[in-house]
Amino acid sequence: MSLFDDDFYSSKVSRKTLREHLGNRKRGGRWLGRLRNQKSVQLVVLSSVTTVLVIAVLYGLLFGFSPSSRHGSSMDFSARAVEASDHIRPAVVSIINEQKFSLELGGGPLEQDAEQSGVYREIGVGSGVIVQKDEQYAYIVTNYHVVASAHRVKAVLTTGEQREAEVVGLDQITDLAVLKVDAAGIGQVAEIGDSSKLRAAEFVMAMGNPLGMGEAITFGVVSVIRETVPVSLAQNGVLDWEQEVIRVDAAINQGNSGGPLVDLNGRVVGINSMKISNFGVESIGYAIPINNVMPIVSELIDSGYVSRAYLGVMMLDLQQYWSRQELEAEIEGESTLNLPQEVYEGIIVLEALGPAKEAGLEFNDVIVKLDDTKIRNTRELRRYLYNQKQIGDSIVVHYYRGKELLTATVTLGENKPE
């Protein structure tokens, strides 16, 4: 007898065994088929769910999912922009700059303190945003250059109502101004954000009154979080100060100045200030970071001006003088400096006032150093004075009087407005 069961291993299989074997295969095949079908369905479902989740996450990352969003969850990008706009819009105002003109034929603008009869005419428009309110007044932030030359200022609310605005304080250095209007009926005050938390490529909106056309919103991204650009305080083409700004590609047109730069949570992160408008340049605008704005606003509301160290010199860049000398062989009323040949950068004292006069500085002295810091132009003098010195500090001024290098110790005063 074989060690194996012939009915199982032999090539000769009985019909009964064959029927039983085939029956078991059919039942097993149906079971395996059902199992394979179930696994296929599960795989399809799992793949679909995974795809949906991946798309949702990517959509959220690209279009506004943020733990700090107003509702703490992802929202439709367009809906977030609309909500942010609705949140801030009632606090945005238009600013009208008016000057008084003579009634005489061909009469020009009157002086600021003129008492003569005349008529007010609109000479410029800008924007502003309400950042503070008490029982009596609502306080509006705008740009210095929007209202600096105004004889009268009006604020236009989003309802279309015009209100007389009073200038609380101006600061040319930061290009900021604060106005106040009657608070009656004003319920919305802008929510202030944190400009230090801005990120490159973050979406922002510039709001205001471009070209006097009324309320408008432009959209873009933050290009550079922090940038320093040279500016002309007198707007005469002479670059005599440096402004710290946020660069954006949202359109900032004439009239947008002073309006808010807003994030997608409806919070003010900057004050629109200027743009580059050279031929071939597209969408390069600048806003003053709100973290720089609010301390100035508080000081303007409290004091009407920003207190800074005061040297007391009317000045001209030495390089400007050389340029002028090249254009004109002799300038009437302007004496020759007679400086050493190697001195070609510095600050010419046109008039010494207050602290500088008391220390002995005179007309045509040329300042070349403050303490141990070389001074080549007005920008560098202001930067050192405003960033490194306080009222009451002493400063050593190194200057040339003709070919002689002298020093004077100046006790800095305060730049109180006249």
Show which residues are catalytic: 145, 175, 257
Q: How many angstroms separate the CA atoms of 198 and 226, rounded?
A: 10
H or E element in which residue 59 lies: helix 15-62
Sign of CA dihedral 247, 248, 254, 256: negative
What number of other Cβ atoms are within 10 A of residue 137's Cβ? 18
Q: How many angstroms separate the CA atoms of 310 and 312, rounded?
A: 6
CA angle 390, 391, 393 (to 5 degrees): 70
Per the document, the length of the chain is 418
Specify the DSSP class assigned to residue 109.
B
> Which token pair is 145?
């250059």
**Amino acid, res. 236:** N
> Which token pair is 294?
């609010």
H or E element in which residue 302 lies: helix 290-303
Q: How many angstroms separate the CA atoms of 257 and 273, rounded?
A: 5
Specify the DSSP class assigned to residue 383.
H
Cα 297 to the center of its chain, rounded Å:
15
Nearest to 79 by CA among 91, 90, 64: 64
Buried b (16+ CB within 10 A) or exposed e, 250-270: bbbbebbbbbbbbbbbbbbbb
Q: How many angstroms separate the CA atoms of 268 and 290, rounded?
A: 7
Residues paired with residue 289 on neighbouring β-strands, in sequence order: 270
Nearest to 139 by CA among 296, 342, 297: 297
- Calculate the alpha carbon distances from 36 to 42, 43, 229 in Å: 10, 11, 69
Q: Phi/psi at 351 (nearest 5 deg)?
A: -155, 135
Residue with tokens 């949570």, as numbered in its chain: 265
Q: How many angstroms separate the CA atoms of 230 and 380, rounded?
A: 11
